[in-house]
Chain A
Amino acid sequence: GQSLEQPSEVTAVEGAIVQINCTYQTSGFYGLSWYQQHDGGAPTFLSYNALDGLEETGRFSSFLSRSDSYGYLLLQELQMKDSASYFCAPRGYNTDKLIFGTGTRLQVFP
């Protein structure tokens, strides 16, 4: 079967660093995507890991360990605008199908 686990909610203050963990179980795993979604908005692509290791994109970094079926999104120098829901989404071979869980709601406080 397929399963996806993320913390439901995370809170932090401006300027802090936050890590959102993701464990997954899915057949035909190819890579792990991360999306950000503000209330009322569409999901926005943040990062993608096809290989083990760390991918860095500005203030955001994402990590993948295929052997552990585990990944995380690291957000540095948090800003108020980072308050949003964050989704990890495994993807399979030769498909655009993304599997989303309920996501992690991040609240950043001043």
Chain B
Amino acid sequence: DAGVTQSPTHLIKTRGQHVTLRCSPISGHKSVSWYQQVLGQGPQFIFQYYEKEERGRGNFPDRFSARQFPNYSSELNVNALLLGDSALYLCASSLALAGHYEQYFGPGTRLTVT
């Protein structure tokens, strides 16, 4: 079975631009979460979506938004990019909304803002 996939792999944007990152969960997984990982730090939770509804949001500004589609894939959108948004953006999927299901991470999208 294919794991979590993310696109694109790498992305370079300019300050002020907008970016859309995409994630496809493992087949059968209904929960998708997004994380931001800055170099040298652990991943920081941005959003969780389950059954197309937002179920959790981390401490990120409103410039960050996301959605989940009927096929459970997800998009993360970031508007008005800042230099500090440069990071690895990770998507993770799990079977259901519960604390005891494993989360599987995708390879991430490396975003560089210049």
Contacts and interface: CB of A to CB of B under 8 A. Distances in A.
24 contacts: A31-B99, A33-B102, A35-B105, A43-B43, A45-B102, A45-B103, A48-B100, A50-B99, A87-B43, A91-B99, A94-B97, A94-B99, A95-B56, A95-B99, A96-B31, A96-B33, A96-B48, A97-B33, A97-B45, A97-B56, A98-B43, A99-B45, A100-B35, A102-B41
Contact size range, A: 20 to 34
Interface of A: 30-31, 33, 35, 41-45, 48, 50, 87, 89, 91-103
Contacts of B40: 102
A95 to B, nearest CB: 5
B94 interface: yes
Most chain A C-beta atoms within 10 Å of own C-beta, residue among B55, B58, B99: B99
